[in-house]
Amino acid sequence: MIDRRGALRLGGGAVLAGGVLRAIDQGLIIPRDRPGLAAWDDWNRHRHSGPLALVSAAILAASPHNTQPWRFAIGRYGVDIFEVPERALGAMDPFGRERLLGLGAAVHTMALASTGIDRRAAVSLLPDAANPLHVAMIELGPEGQRTVPHPLLPAIGRRHTDRGPYRGGAVVDRALATLAGAARSDAVRIALFAADSARGRRFGALTIDATAAIAADDAMMAASHAWFRHSRRDQDRLMDGLSVATSGVSPWLAAAAAILPEQSAASEGRYWLDATRDSAVPTASLFGLILVPDLADRRATLLAGAAWQRLHLLATALGLSAQPLNQLPEMIDRQRQLRQPPGYARAVDALLDDPAWRPTFAFRIGHPLSPPGASPRRPVSMVIGQPARLAYDVGRAGAETRAQEAALARRLQKQAR
């Protein structure tokens, strides 16, 4: 018969064996390739050329909870990007506003990448009134035009959301001016506040408050949890979502957490609140908002996403760290969805020079303590969709052929005279 102590010993052995098995499963004991990280290498090593290079850059863009809500159609004359509404964040993003911000970020990286393939690009946002999911069309000029590679191209493969503690201290004025200039469109404004200013302190307090509200909202936390990839198997298979590895904890703690049983949505909420209150807010140098006149305007939202992408790339190039802190805009949407009094929308008025401009994106910037890791991406081959460009390409090839025929006819006429 096994006594109590023996049973405990056996139980402890089972827990230990379970931990070892989990450690092997999570790739901690026998190192394995991480297929979700190959996309970074593909871009950094220029493995794709022509229009595919644009997609290779686009998939590295930021997206809410790393949902990667995009599909691309490639043609000889360019690339189209489509929204995939099924890759959604539910109660966390009830109007799909954040999804569109991520798509705007992807469009911006494509525009930048076009400067590296020697073809001029023209970007049209929402080009097809009959198909609102057609987010942007990027038309490429003929091959062989000399373009000057954009100085931010190398930052595309180095930009990572840094959720860890920062070093503190101010951001120098020259860097501030560079960051403030990231909007590049009259449809979008950027407001920056030093973390130790009155507005900075108010931003921090409101963000902590909004985090507590989200952590207490079961539907929001369930939506967030659905994009959390705890097991290494899911990370390698799905190549999207969030994980402990990019949550801002040290690599040692991330390895330890990977051995523990899967966290619940509620414990993720508690961790998020603690990290926001004790680390993200107190160690930031700068807070900021990206503002638009109308939160429901799809074009302005795309441009705001592009502004965030540019801002984060500029921060990366300046050696600064950045993290979106979107709890406030998320709670503004959530209160609207639930038809509750707009408490968070009114509270942010105190942060704005002109309350007619509304915050669609919130973030922090600071000096890094340790380099943030890359998060997974589905590779180019997995995000190329239906040949939706075909009709457009055929039309454009037809127009080009007709123009060449007309030029030939004119030349023949001239020769005949």
- Considering the complex, what minimum distance in angstroms separates the CB of residue 322 from ligand FMN? 9
- Considering the complex, what minimum distance in angstroms separates the CB of residue 105 from ligand FMN? 5
What's the CA gap between 84 and 125, in Å, rounded?
16
Contacts of 391 (CB under 8 A, 6+ apart): none
Stretch that binds ligand FMN, among 115-123, 159-167, 182-190, 351-359 (CB under 6 A): 159-167
**Using rule CB under 6 A, residue 161 touches ligand FMN:** yes
How big is the site for ligand FMN, counted in residues (CB under 6 A)?
18
Binders of ligand FMN among 323-362, rule CB under 6 A?
Answer: 323-326
Stretch that binds ligand FMN, among 158-166, 216-224, 282-290, 350-358 (CB under 6 A): 158-166
Residue of 113, 375, 389, 392 interacting with ligand FMN (CB under 6 A): 375
**Using rule CB under 6 A, residue 108 touches ligand FMN:** no
Q: Which two tokens stand for residue 298?
A: 């799809």
**Using rule CB under 6 A, residue 163 touches ligand FMN:** yes
For residues 156 and 175, which CB has a smaller minimum distance to ligand FMN in the complex?
A: 156
Residue of 63, 243, 283, 316 interacting with ligand FMN (CB under 6 A): 63
- Considering the complex, what minimum distance in angstroms separates the CB of residue 56 from ligand FMN? 14
- Considering the complex, what minimum distance in angstroms separates the CB of residue 313 from ligand FMN? 11
Contacts of 294 (CB under 8 A, 6+ apart): 300, 358
For residues 53 and 59, which CB has a smaller minimum distance to ligand FMN in the complex?
A: 59
**Using rule CB under 6 A, residue 71 touches ligand FMN:** no
**Using rule CB under 6 A, residue 65 touches ligand FMN:** yes
For residues 140 and 345, which CB has a smaller minimum distance to ligand FMN in the complex?
A: 345
- Considering the complex, what minimum distance in angstroms separates the CB of residue 140 from ligand FMN? 25
Q: Which two tokens stand for residue 94?
A: 């009830």
Binders of ligand FMN among 290-329, rule CB under 6 A?
Answer: 323-326
**Using rule CB under 6 A, residue 102 touches ligand FMN:** yes
- Considering the complex, what minimum distance in angstroms separates the CB of residue 101 from ligand FMN? 4
Stretch that binds ligand FMN, among 62-70, 72-80, 213-221, 255-263 (CB under 6 A): 62-70
Residue of 66, 211, 224, 283 interacting with ligand FMN (CB under 6 A): 66
Report residue 416: phi and psi, to 5°: -70, -25
Binding mask 245-284 for ligand FMN (x = CB under 6 A): ----------------------------------------
- Considering the complex, what minimum distance in angstroms separates the CB of residue 318 from ligand FMN? 17
Contacts of 244 (CB under 8 A, 6+ apart): 230, 254, 257, 258
Q: Which residue has the tokens 């960051």?
A: 179
In terms of Cα–Cα distance, which of 333, 370, 365, 366 is closest to 348?
Answer: 333
Contacts of 88 (CB under 8 A, 6+ apart): 67, 69, 96, 99
- Considering the complex, what minimum distance in angstroms separates the CB of residue 145 from ligand FMN? 30
For residues 36 and 102, which CB has a smaller minimum distance to ligand FMN in the complex?
A: 102
In terms of Cα–Cα distance, which of 286, 288, 287, 292 is closest to 354?
Answer: 292
- Considering the complex, what minimum distance in angstroms separates the CB of residue 404 from ligand FMN? 43
Contacts of 189 (CB under 8 A, 6+ apart): 183, 290, 291, 292, 357
**Using rule CB under 6 A, residue 235 touches ligand FMN:** no
Contacts of 15 (CB under 8 A, 6+ apart): none
Q: Which two tokens stand for residue 243?
A: 């994980």
**Using rule CB under 6 A, residue 114 touches ligand FMN:** no
CA distances from 306 to 88, 156, 199, 313, 322 (A): 19, 13, 25, 11, 15
For residues 123 and 331, which CB has a smaller minimum distance to ligand FMN in the complex?
A: 331
Please give the residue ranges that form the binding site for ligand FMN (CB under 6 A).
62-66, 98, 101-102, 105, 160-161, 163, 242, 323-326, 375
